[in-house]
Structure 1
Amino acid sequence: MSEAADSSTESRPVRLREALRQARIEAADRTGVVVDLRDAEVARLEILSDALDPLFDEIPGQIDLFDRGISQGETPRLWIDVVAHVVMGRDKRQYRFVQDTRNGRIVLAESHDLAAIVKAVTDYVARRMVERERAFSVAQAQAQVIEPPRRRGGVWPFVLGFVLGALSLFGVALYESLKPMYF
């Protein structure tokens, strides 16, 4: 029985080692799949970015609202501006155009169709540019209203007051000097 006991103890570690080896291989395969999925997401976002090139070429250079770029983190994103971005959906084939607001994240568009997302981004860019124009027109109107009234010759009233004060003191001194003196 000692040989049987020795063979049973030797077979357990071998099986555990084999199981650990197999588990490591599976984990590496899953990691490879995750990396492949992430690369596929980035590739789809790059395709969308290329489709948006004509839109961003039309935006005038002095408008600096938009800063398009792909961030490659745990979840790759195509940023349109500071608050809006496109991310891939759960099935990794669906585009989801979202905007972060004070009240949370809202989905502006969601589609498998690239053209639908391009149209949604185009509409968003147009709305942001109109908001910018309105903000600048309101700011200019407020600047015109707040402009202080122009002063008319601020030095001349001071000089006139100084001369009148000096003449008054001279008059009081003259009056006091001409009064008869009584002891």
Structure 2
Amino acid sequence: MGEGKDNVSSLMGNRRLADAIRAAKIAAAHRSDVVVDIREADRARLEILAEEMQSVADEVPPGDDRFDFTISGGPQPRFWIDGTAHVSMARDRRTYRFARETRLGRVMLGESADVAVIADRVTDYVAERIVERDKAFADSDGLGVRVMERGERKTEAAAAPIPARPVPPPAGTSFAVALSWLMIGLVIGAGTLYAIASVRGFSLN
């Protein structure tokens, strides 16, 4: 009599365990569906942001390969701007979170439920990265130094004293000098002749 009760109790316990396992499987399936739905909802919102950013992505210089503008999969979809910055959805599934991974940890660059606000923040970030790259190239190509050196050489050339050129005499100066020498020659010649004549006259006497 006692053995029959034990068998019935054991059978009922097995049934309860089976029911519990089946219920756990059903609950897990529901949770999986919820996770999938949430993931798809996040991806759909990120695709809206990607459409907002398409014009910016088209304007990025062709040779600049730092930017991605792609949506990654996984448990939490993300819209990647470059190798460190991305946009993801917050826990409320309505707020965009624009963050950047750094050596010191994650830095929040913007957070808003308005896709236009986040698109503006991302656009500013892309513009700053492009300007930073241009500055880095300007510092490394030496163009600024060469331009400065050319300017200094031009300044030094302009400040150097100009050598004095001989000033030609006025037009009538050479004639006056020649005439003076002629008069001096005539006077000397006349004096010489007078002296010779005086000496001869003195000798005759």
- TM-score, normalised relative to structure 1: 0.74
**What is residue 107 of structure 1 aligned with on the other side?**
108
User: After superposition, where does 1:30-41 map in structure 2 within 5 Å?
Assistant: 30-41=31-42
> Distance in 1 between the 2:65 and 2:13 partners?
66
SS of 1:99's equivalent in the other structure is strand
Residue pair 2:138, 2:144 contacting (<8 A) in 1 also: no
Which amino acid in 1 is paired with 2:41?
A: A
**How many angstroms does 1:85 deviate by?**
0.6
Q: 1:8-47 deviations in whole A, cap 9, x for unaligned?
A: 2211111111111011100111011111111111111111
**What is residue 5 of structure 2 aligned with on the other side?**
4
**What is residue 54 of structure 1 aligned with on the other side?**
55
Aligned length: 145
> Distance in 2 between the 1:11 and 1:65 partners?
65
**How many angstroms does 1:83 deviate by?**
1.2
Q: 1:130-163 deviations in whole A, cap 9, x for unaligned?
A: 1011011001128967xxxxxxxxxxxxxxxxxx
> Distance in 2 between the 1:85 and 1:32 partners?
26
> Distance in 2 between the 1:83 and 1:138 partners?
24
User: After superposition, where does 1:32-181 map in structure 2 within 5 Å?
Assistant: 32-141=33-142
**What is residue 157 of structure 1 aligned with on the other side?**
none
Unaligned runs of 5+ in 1: 146-183
Unaligned runs of 5+ in 2: 147-205
Which amino acid in 2 is paired with 1:87?
A: S
**How many angstroms does 1:7 deviate by?**
1.9
SS of 1:108's equivalent in the other structure is strand
SS of 1:125's equivalent in the other structure is helix
Which amino acid in 1 is paired with 2:88?
A: V
Larger CA Rg, structure 1 vs 2: 2
> Distance in 2 between the 1:141 and 1:102 partners?
30
**How many angstroms does 1:102 deviate by?**
2.2
**How many angstroms does 1:48 deviate by?**
0.8
> Distance in 1 between the 2:78 and 2:136 partners?
28
> Distance in 2 between the 1:6 and 1:104 partners?
61
SS of 1:90's equivalent in the other structure is coil
**What is residue 161 of structure 1 aligned with on the other side?**
none
SS of 1:67's equivalent in the other structure is strand
* Mean Cα deviation higher: 80-89 or 68-77: 68-77
> Distance in 2 between the 1:7 and 1:64 partners?
72
Q: 1:37-92 deviations in whole A, cap 9, x for unaligned?
A: 11111111111111110111122212222122111122211110111111111222
